[in-house]
Amino acid sequence: MAVARKAPLRAVKADAPIYQLRIELRGVKPAIWRRLLVPATIKLDRLHGVLLWTMGWAGGHLHEFMIGDDHYGEPDPYYDTLVQREDRVTLAAALGARKSFIYLYDFGDGWEHRVTLEKILPPEPGLKLPQCLAGANACPPEDVGGPPGYADFLEAIRDPAHEEHAAMLEWCGGAFDPADFRPDDINTAFRELKL
């Protein structure tokens, strides 16, 4: 999977607590979700990259973290906004006592992810992070049109008699299995990242 990446992820302290997160893509059936371990000290800009890889997104679209009343992302200096710089805050600091937040990816398609802090685990020196523990179902193709477009896409590729069946299969590269989920592939990709 090709993901637009920034510089390698920075090192984290071995004594950092570990956050177990559940990420669920909202508005789609069946549920598309992942369970992930990350250090509490991960900066939000790095978490963005981790979420892309975990979910299966290719990158290249705008994104934003909505945590309580705060919004984090890459502020546009030419647009009056309240978005704070994501590269200056850790997940632990942004979350505070909260247990969940929204990660919005691709403002055009509007993919909303509910990210829930399931557990705070003690530090475990030597544990390679991030790590995908579990999940279900494939990430929708990029630029499919958000949840409604994804539902239409699935309908078209499942029905050979559908007028857009051949065009949708060609558009997505010839095949798409909505139930496909391979945590080993995600964790293999994570080994390239340096936290």
Q: What is the pLDDT of residues 12-65, one digit of tens each?
A: 455 789 999 999 999 999 999 999 999 999 999 999 999 999 999 999 999 999
Residues, the chain = 195
Spatial CA neighbour of 42 closest among 118, 94, 1: 94
User: Which pLDDT tens digit goes with each residue over 21-36?
Assistant: 999 999 999 999 999 9
For the chain, where do the domains classified as CATH 3.10.290.30 start and end? 18-138+179-190
Give me the numbers of helices (H) and strands (E) for the chain, helices first please: 5, 8
Q: Two tokens at 109?
A: 């398609």
User: Which pLDDT tens digit goes with each residue over 75-132?
Assistant: 877 776 789 999 999 999 999 999 999 999 999 999 999 999 999 999 998 888 999 9
| Interatomic CA distance for residues 88 and 86, integer angstroms | 5
Q: What is the pTM of this model?
A: 0.89
Considering the domain 18-138+179-190, what is its CATH architecture? Roll (3.10)
